[in-house]
Chains A and B, each alone.
Chain A
Amino acid sequence: MTKFILRRLLWMILVMFVVSVITFGLMRAVPGGPFSREKPLPQATLDALNAKYRLDEPLIVQYLVYMGDIVVPRIGPQTVPSADEDYLIEFQLPAIFGENQSFKWVNFGPTYSARGRSVNDIFRENMPVSAQLGVAAFLVAVSIGIPLGVAAALNRNKWQDFGAMGVSIIGVSVPVIISAPVLQYLVGVQWRILPVTGWGTLNHLILPAFTLGFASSALIARLMRASLLQVMNEDYIRTARAKGVAESGVITFHALKNGLLPVVTVLGPLFAALVTGTFVVETVFGVPGIGRYFVTAVQGRDYPVVMGTILLYAGVLVISNLLVDVVYAWLDPRIRFD
C-alpha cells in the first residue's frame, strides 16, 4: 500500500510539472503582453514594468523563478505580505532555528491587473466562496444521484426506473449554461422564492448549488444504476441470497458496497471541478468565486493569475484523484497489486 501511494505521489508530481510547463508555454506563446494597451504605454514605462516583473529575462529563467517561489520553502524573518512576497503558508519557527525565523512556502506572485495585490490575495478572497458553493453542489449531486440510481436499479423496468432515468437524461441534456438562466428565471424572477443574484446568505447559496449539483447528479445516477445492475448479477449476490441473508441485507452489505466502487472514481474529478469554481454559474448568479478570474486573466494576459488558477485546479484534481485511488485500492485489494 505504501509503495502504491508513493508511486501515485510521484506520478502526481510529474503531472503537476507537465501541467505547469504546458500552461507556461502556451501562455507565453500568445502574442501581446500583460501591459499591451489600446493606447501603447511609453517604451520607458513598459521597460520598467517588464523589468519589475522580470518579464525581460529568458523564459526558462522566468519559469524557474516563478516555480521556485511556489515550490521551494523559505526560512527567514517574517515578511509583511506585499504583492511580490505573500506566502500562502507562513508560520513562526521555534527558537532552535534562530531568532525570529519563519517558515514561508507557496508564493504565487503578484497579479498584473491590480496594483499591490497578490495572486494569493485573490485566492484567499474568492477561493472560499467557490469552495462553499462547490461543496454544497457536491452534496446535492451525491444526495440526489445515488438514491436515484439505486432506486432505478432495484426497480428495473418499473416506473421508478423510467422516472429516475427520465430525470437523469434531462440532467445530462441540460448543461448549467441552460439550467442556470432558466432556474434563475423560474425561481428568482417568476416565483420570487429565492434571490436572483448575489452571495452571502444561505438563500443565495441554494439556487447555484442546486443548478451545479443537479447536472452532476444525473451522471452519478446513471453510473450508480449501471454498476448496481451489474453487481446484482454477480455470483456472490446469489451466494448471499442462498445462505439466507434478507434482501435488505444483500442490498446494503453486498450489492451497494461493491456497486459504489465505479461511482467513487468519478466523484474525485467531479469534486475538483465543482470546488474550483465554474464560470457559468458564478457569472449568471453573480457569485464572487474564482472561476470568473481565470477567464478575465487569460484575456488580460495576467500570467501569474492564469498559472496560479491552473496549478490550483490541477492540484485539487490530482489530489482528489489520489484520494480516490487510495480509497479504491483500500476497497478493492486487487488493484494494489497492479
Chain B
Amino acid sequence: MTTVNKSLPSPVVKLENHVKGESLWQDSWKRLRRNRAALLGVAIILIAVLMALFASVIAPHPYDRQTLTATNATPYWVTRIFTSMIPQGEPGGYVRISDQYLFGADSLGRDLFTRIIYGAQVSLLVAFIGPLVSIIVGFIVGLISGYVGGRVDNFLMRIVDLMYAFPTILLIILMLAFFRAGFGDLEPGSFGYIIGQLDRQTGGMLFIFFGIGLTSWMGMARLVRAQVLSVREKEYIEAARSMGTRTQGIMLRHIIPNIVGPLIVAETLTIPTYISYEAFLSFIGLGVQPPRPSWGAMIAEGAQRITSYPSQAVFPALALFLVMFAFNFLGDGLRDALDPRMRGVD
C-alpha cells in the first residue's frame, strides 16, 4: 500500500507540468524536433527546395544547352567511382574526360548537374501540389460522405471502391495521353487551348497534376469520411448543434480542426508515391516534356546507356532517392509527433 501511495503522485504531477500551456502543435513540434531522422528529412527537403528555387542562379549552365563537343563528357573522379567507365588513353578506354562539368554531360552534351538541379523543381512541385489536389478532392468527397451519410455516402463510397478497382497507373497513362492529345492542337481562344498552352509553359506539369490528383483522392476521401464519422458522434459536436451552430459551422470549426493531424500524416507519407508517379510518367515519356529536365526522364535516358555511362542514370536516381527518403523520414516523424500512440506502429 505504501509503495502505491509513494509512486502515485509523481506521474500525475509530471503530467500536469507537461501539459500546462502547450497546444497540440507545440507539443508535436517538440517531439518532432527530437526525432533526428525526421530532422534529416527536413534538412534534405529544405536543400532541395532551395536548389529548385534558385536553380537559375546555382546551375552553371542552361539546362537545354547542347555542347556537341562535350557529349558524354565525364570528369575524372566519376570514372574512379564507376570503374567500368575507362577513360580515353587507358587500354580499352572510351570515356571522354572533361572536368568542365561537375557530374559530366549527357549524350546530347547537356550538363548533368544543371539538369539534376532543375529536375528538383519538377519533383518538388509534384510533392507539394499532388497532395493539395488529392486533399481538395478527397476532403470534399469525404466530408460530404461522412457528414451527410445515408444514400449519398453509399453512392460516393461505391465510386471510391470502383476507382480503387481501376488500375491506377494504366488510368494515369490513359488520361495523360488524352490530355496531351486532346489539348494539343485546338483553336486559339478556346478554353481548351488556354489549358494546353498552360501545360506547355509548365513543361507538361499541369497535366501530371491533373492525372495524379484525379487518381489519388480516394484514400484521402476514405480517411476523411472515417474521421468525420468518428468525430461526428462526439459530445462536443452535439453540444455545438444544440447551441444552434449550422452544419457549415460545425464542419469548419469543429470537425476539420480535429481531423487535420491524421490527414497531414497520411499525405506526407503519400508524397513519395506522387514523386515516383511523376518520375515514372516522365520515364515513359508521358510526363514532363523535353527539353525540361525531370529525374525520371534522365534515368530513362541514362538506363539506355547503363553499360557504357552508368553515371548518367545513377546520379539522377540518387537525387530522386534522397528526396523520397527525406519525405518518408519526415512522414514517419510527423506521425510519431502528431500521434504518439502510433509510435512504432505503422
Contacts and interface: CB of A to CB of B under 8 A. Distances in A.
Interface in B63-101: 82-84
A104 interface: no
Contact of A223 (B174, B317, B346): B346
A125 to B, nearest CB: 20
B286 to A, nearest CB: 8
A314 B165 contact: yes
Interface in A272-309: 273, 276, 279-280, 283-284, 294-295, 298-299, 306, 309
A53 B290 CA distance: 35
Interface in B309-346: 310, 313-314, 317, 320-321, 324-325, 328-329, 332, 344-346
A75 interface: no
Contacts of A226: 345-346
Q: Is the interface of B mostly helix, strand, loop or mixed?
A: helix
B345 A189 contact: no
Interface residues of B, number: 48
Interface string B297-308: 001101100110
Given A173-B324, A196-B307, A280-B280, A189 B182 contact: no
Interface of B: 82-84, 162, 165-167, 169-171, 173-175, 177-178, 181-182, 184-185, 272, 276, 279-280, 283-286, 296, 299-300, 302-303, 306-307, 310, 313-314, 317, 320-321, 324-325, 328-329, 332, 344-346
Contacts of B166: 19, 22, 314
A298 B182 contact: no
B299 A178 contact: yes
Nearest to A306: B174
A310 B170 contact: yes
B175 A26 contact: yes
Nearest to B166: A19
Contacts of A309: 170
Contacts of A189: 84, 306-307, 310
A27 to B, nearest CB: 7
A182 interface: yes
Contacts of A225: 346
Contacts of B306: 181, 184-185, 188-189, 196, 284
A317 B170 CA distance: 12
Given A185-B310, A314-B167, A317-B167, A178 B175 contact: no
A53 B283 CA distance: 32
A177 B346 contact: no
B324 A175 contact: yes
A173 B84 contact: no
Contact of A180 (B272, B303, B321): B303
Interface string A132-172: 00000000000000000000000011000000000001101
A308 B17 CA distance: 65
11 contacts: A31-B185, A157-B344, A177-B276, A177-B280, A178-B321, A181-B302, A185-B314, A189-B84, A190-B82, A190-B310, A283-B303
A32 interface: yes
A222 B300 CA distance: 29
A156 B170 contact: no
Contacts of B314: 181-182, 185
